[in-house]
Each structure stands twice: as C-alpha cells, then as structure tokens.
Amino acid sequence: CRGAATGSTRTTAGPAWPSPARTTAWSPPTPASPSDTTSSRASTPRSASCKADKCVIASSGFQGDIKALQKNLAARELLYQHQHNKRMSCPAMAQLLSNTLYYKRFFPYYAFNVLGGLDSEGKGCVYSYDAVGSYERTGYSAQGSGSTLIMPVLDNQLKSPSPLLVPARDAVTPLSESEAVDLVKDVFASATERDIYTGDKVEIVVINKAGTRREYIELRKD
C-alpha cells in the first residue's frame, strides 16, 4: 500500500496569517481487484488546483510562485486540450511540470510540489518534485514544513519491506480509500502538534475512477 502526503510552509513573502497545513495522501489500488482502483489525495485550498480531471497538484512554498506556476500549467493544459482533443494524462502533466520548473533553473519557482492522480491505466500515481523539477513517481510523498514530521510515519506505514528479508515478505499491503484518508488525517493531526506552521485546516482531495471529491478537516488552530 502506498500513500502520499505533503506538508507546507508558511509563505515567505506573504502576510502573517496562519496558513493551513497542506497534505497530500494517496493510496494505490488493491491488488485483489484491479478494477477497483482507487486513489486518495489531499491538498489544501490555497495550493491545490485541479488540472486534468484525474490530476491534482499540491504545492507549498512561496504563494506568488505557486500561483504563477499553477496558472502556467492550467494554460498549457488548455492548449493541450485544444491541440490533442483530450485532457492531459497525469504522467504527461508530471513531465510538463518538471520541464516548467527546470525552465527556470537559474531563477526557480519557490514551490515544492506533489502531483497526484490516475494514470492512463486507472492506477493511482504520485509524483514528488523539488524546486527545480527533479521528480520521481512514488507511492507516497510529503513536502513542506511538516514533511519531516510526516514522512517518517508514512515510511513506517507504507514503505514496502526490504526484498532482502528472509522469509520474503509480501511487498504490497493494500490500503483502502478510507484507510488512506484516515492515515492522512492522522499524520496531519500529528504534524500540527509539533510544527508551528502546520495547522488550521487541511483539504483532502480524493480521486478515484468515480470522480474527484474534496473534504475539509479542521486542525488545531494554535
């Protein structure tokens, strides 16, 4: 099973309002029934935006750059739709985001991104980025100020056991959608406790083949 989460930092150049925590959590399909592919993701209102209908980006960092980056991607996605007569797939958007970030390698977007959605086979995918576009498809990820608190928990829960272990352990533990969402809520609640920049609210975006839904969860406001 896999999940992905991203925390967030308070904007470096914005007013001093408390920023909501950001988290992205993602859980993969259960192997027993490949037709039930589900993926769950959460991202905050400030940084999340829907790109294709099966692809969502969550960003943390400098709000100005985040806004510019997401607008840029939205415009490019619209152009893609005009030219190719279909919406952009998640892997395509992942590459586009990487290229867009690297384009400003020498004056980067101060944005730490996690992209999530369903790929063309309907399986969930999570892509995690640094500020200049280095990216990797993973099962789960966390970015932002709370990430150092969240990532170890996700590793503990979701990382596949080492293939070197004897006897061989089953690599994939299926995580259902509700389990994934619960895990996300838990990690955020935990991160809120210790990270001063994480708190207030979290927006959880869940993408599955039925569609996309959003939940807003209140967090500690201190």
Partner 1 sequence: RQQKEENSTPEPYSCYGHAPLAHLASSPDRRRGESRGGRRPRMFRNQYDTDVTTWSPQGRLFQVEYAMEAVKQGSACVGLRSATHAVLAAANKSANELSSHQRKVFRVADHAGVALAGLTADGRVLSRFLRNECINHAFVYDAPLPVSRLALRLADKAQVCTQRSWKRPYGVGLLVAGLDESGAHLYYNCPSGNYFEYQAFAIGSRSQAAKTYLERRFEKFNAYTPDELIKDALSAIKETLQGEKLTSSNCTIAIVGRKEDGTVEPFSMIDSKRIQEIIDSMEAADEAPAADVPAESSSMQEDRGDAPAARDAPAADEPAAPDAPAPMDI
Which residues form the interface with partner 1 (CB under 8 A)?
53, 71, 75, 78-79, 81-82, 85-87
Element (H, E) at 6: none
Q: Between residues 56 and 183, which has the closer beta carbon with respect to partner 1?
A: 56
Shortest distance (Å) from residue 46 CB to partner 1: 16
Q: Using CA atoms, how far apart are residues 132 and 102, in angstroms rounded to an integer?
A: 5
Dmax (CA) of the chain: 55
Closer residue to partner 1 (CB): 73 or 126: 73
CB of residue 166 to partner 1, shortest distance in Å: 51
CA distance 151 to 156: 9
We find the least distance from the C-beta atom of residue 210 to partner 1, in angstroms, to be 16
> Measured on CA atoms in the order 70, 201, 130, 81, is the torsion positive or negative?
negative
Distances (CA, A) of 204 to 90, 156, 180: 18, 21, 11
Angstrom CA distances, 144 to 13, 22, 184, 211, stand at 15, 8, 15, 27
Minimum distance between the CB of residue 17 and partner 1, rounded to whole angstroms? 22
Q: Which is nearer to partner 1, 87 or 137 (CB)?
A: 87
Question: In this complex, which beta carbon is closest to partner 1, that of residue 77 or of residue 195?
Answer: 77
